[in-house]
Structure 1
Amino acid sequence: MLLSHSYVNISFFQPHAFLMIGIPGLEAVHGWISIPFSFMYTVALTGNCLILLAVRRTPSLHQPMYYFLSMLALTDVGLTLSTLPTTLAVLWFDYRHIGFNACLVQMFFLHSFSVVESSVLLAMSFDRFVAISNPLHYAAILTNNVIIRIGLAIVARATLSLFPVPFLLKRLNFCPDKILLSHSFCFHPDVMRRACADITINIHYGLYVVLSTGGIDSLFIILSYVLILHTVLGLASPRERIRAFNTCVSHILAVFVFFIPGITMSMIHRFGRHLPTVVHALVAYVYLVVPPVLNPIIYSVKSKPIREAMIRMLKRKGQG
């Protein structure tokens, strides 16, 4: 009670900057850890940019499926760039400071791109459902205008969902002695718990955003695949079933790569506060860094048109 009373009487405080810890307990080997992180960031940016260029320069890939793949690649580039500057600054140069407002901006974009990625994966499941269940009208249903509207709706949804979050944090009184973040980037649960104030509204709104975006998206993705499975099982020959389901394998892997770490991270933040901080940090890195790395690998391996387009593009560049 005395501690609570003392915080009521102090003046309103917002830190000029936060200090980022990087990976808790492993600060002494940050230099070595920076090597795999630099490699992963390079793979993520290179792979996703190659997909974007391959789709743009290959007329045969100007189809709804590959337009949605381009949205996913562009989102992964944005997600990578959201964490790359501060993560490498901490690991390479031991530069741990990030301004309060800069932290809120990074947090907004980081979480916005996460919501966009969830939404794009849902749109891709809808694309696969239409392609398998109604192939004759596929192009008529998913026209360029429809795809553009879906893309704009995804961006609007992410922006409107995350827009209140920085302002809900700016109203809080922070603790002068609690400015050390558990990651090398600004993550909403981490920043929120640095406050010396009632964060009930922040917790409830954060839970609302998670459930209304990733939660709903995951349910509709599952529903899409239930309907897809029903359609595939209704096909006459086993060969047609395999061919139809093969068009979904890349997307299924991308869904697992994104949602499993995301669900794990949400559960840990809500029910695993007793776990070591290094566990929280590593799960957050897996959620934010690994999907942008694996998605271009998955699609270049499993999608023959994408793989061939990327190889042709690289050969032309090598010859030039």
Structure 2
Amino acid sequence: MGETMNIEVSKEVAKPTATTVYIWDMDETLILLKSLLDGTYAGHFNGLKDTRKGVEIGKQWENHIIHICDEYFFYEEIENYNEPFLGSSSEYDDGQDLSNYVFDNDGFSFPYDDSNKRKLAYRHRSISEKYSQGLNKVLDQEMIKIWKDLYYLTDKYTDGWLSSGHSLLEQSLGKNSLSASNLPSDMKLGSISTNNKSINALVTSGALIPSLAKCLLYQLDDVIPANSVYSSWEVGKHQCFSWIKERFGGPNVRFCVIGDGPEECEAAQKMRWPFIKIDMRRSSPCRFPGLTMKMVQSYIEVIYGPPDAEMEEMNE
């Protein structure tokens, strides 16, 4: 009798559960920048928002992004070597210890041969390590205060757009976390705590290095790991989505795309994935604050059906 009960329990524990991969756009979705700079965001409030204040906030963010890129992310050196993701040059990384490596004297330059690809891979590894440490380990106390004050100022000006977006990313990962040892092997570098039932990835039309800097500055690094940030700058969003499907896809994996632009909408349609369009207008529920996990799940279920129904179908 005891053995039978144990078998039943183990079967229940082993019951398959769905994994959801959330693919987020960055600009004008998780963060606001362009719409602050050009006054579009303030324009939706019919004079209730100070447009000049929004422009000033946007300019401050631009300065911070440039500072992080140039001072810590080698951007002046690698600006012309935009890669779609940090791991794209990992095959050239021989694993050399970089703790005493002098990047300024390694002769990194054109042509883009194997030697320079290895030096680029070193830089990408260094960026990934800094990303996983977070800006609190990189910036001095004065800069940390300036940066955090700007974040809170922006969040107040936008009625909580940044914090509510971050909260939704946290909710997408679930509250019950498991250790990194339970994550897929390619998620461990710069990974975040998840319940292993959901994954956040980011696909942005911006260049990779500035996008990683934005993730840090807008405090997204604890919900999106460095190796899950993709730049569609040169390859297009459909190609990035295809890589993500190849990386995370399986018989019991769902995908959902959240963004504001036509390119990610078209790419999601080609992949036959649900797409949630972020709409900045005050009357729209698909904005921040406003969008909820219940709403997100409703979009997913239109394509995939309810999770329980899927499980019953799998177990038949």
TM surpasses 0.5: no
Specify which structure has the higher proportion of strand.
Answer: 2
TM-score by length of 1: 0.28
Higher-RCO chain (CA-CA 8 Å, sequence separation at least 6): 1
TM-score by length of 2: 0.28
